[in-house]
């Protein structure tokens, strides 16, 4: 039998706390949308917690007519807005995730990986800290660029994404 190796955790010293700089940037963005660049710049290197919840698979009904989960699966959470668009949930820390659902299991991932999962799942956005106190919706070109690993740069008064391989 071949030797097996477990991958080391991506964030071995992570205690689940939100990065204070990212929290401050989200709060500043909530008060002033012109602060989007700062929030996105910090987000692109951040660790996020993607919630994973149990989803019923097979259900069986007992003699009393009560339904019981026979099997269940774990899944990341996509939410759908009133306009039909879907977003993958992610949180900056265990406190904001717990405010949304204290039973959800946090899976720490780089923000790029969360954005890539959103794109691959056909979501329109990555919803960061949906339960607040300040949240950020990453969508459109920003979502695709973040998922691709591009770097946010300021070009004059505008923002632009640059493929790091082209530098």
Q: Is residue 50 part of a domain?
A: yes
Would you say residue 117 lies in a domain? yes
Closest to 148 in 3D by CA, of 129, 130, 166:
166
More confident residue, 165 or 167: 165
**Does 1 map to a domain?**
no
**What is the structure's pLDDT at 52?**
87
What would the mean pLDDT of 4-17 be, rounded to a whole number? 74
The predicted pLDDT at position 142 comes to 95
Per-residue pLDDT of 80-133, as tens digits, reads 989 999 999 999 999 999 999 998 899 999 999 999 999 999 999 999 999 889
pLDDT, average across residues 38-50: 95
In a domain, residue 137? The reply is yes
Q: Rounded to an integer, what distance in angstroms lies between the CA atom of residue 75 and that of residue 51?
A: 8
| Secondary element (H or E) of residue 23 | helix 20-31
Number of domains in the chain: 1
Asked if residue 13 belongs to a domain, the reply is no
Is residue 73 in some structural domain? yes
Instruction: Residue 140: give the domain boundaries.
Output: 20-61+68-166
**13 — pLDDT class (breaks 50, 70, 90):** confident
Does 12 reside within a domain? no
pLDDT per residue over 49-93, tens digit each? 999 877 655 667 777 777 766 555 556 788 898 999 999 999 999
What does the block give as tokens for 48?
A: 């996020």
pTM: 0.82
The pLDDT of residue 73: 56
């Amino acid at each position: 039998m071949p030797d097996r190796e477990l991958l080391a955790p991506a964030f071995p010293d992570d205690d689940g706390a939100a990065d204070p700089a990212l929290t401050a940037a989200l709060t500043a963005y909530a008060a002033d949308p012109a602060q989007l660049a700062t929030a996105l710049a910090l987000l692109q290197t951040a660790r996020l917690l993607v919630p994973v919840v149990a989803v019923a698979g097979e259900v069986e009904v007992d003699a009393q007519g009560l339904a019981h989960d026979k099997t269940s699966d774990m899944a990341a959470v996509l939410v759908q807005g009133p306009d039909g668009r879907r977003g993958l949930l992610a949180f900056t820390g265990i406190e904001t995730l717990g405010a949304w659902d204290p039973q959800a299991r946090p899976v720490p991932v780089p923000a790029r990986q969360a954005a890539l999962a959103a794109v691959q799942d056909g979501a329109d956005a990555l919803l960061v800290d949906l339960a607040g106190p300040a949240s950020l919706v990453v969508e459109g070109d920003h979502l695709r660029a973040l998922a691709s690993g591009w770097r946010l740069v300021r070009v004059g008064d505008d923002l632009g994404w640059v493929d790091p391989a082209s530098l």
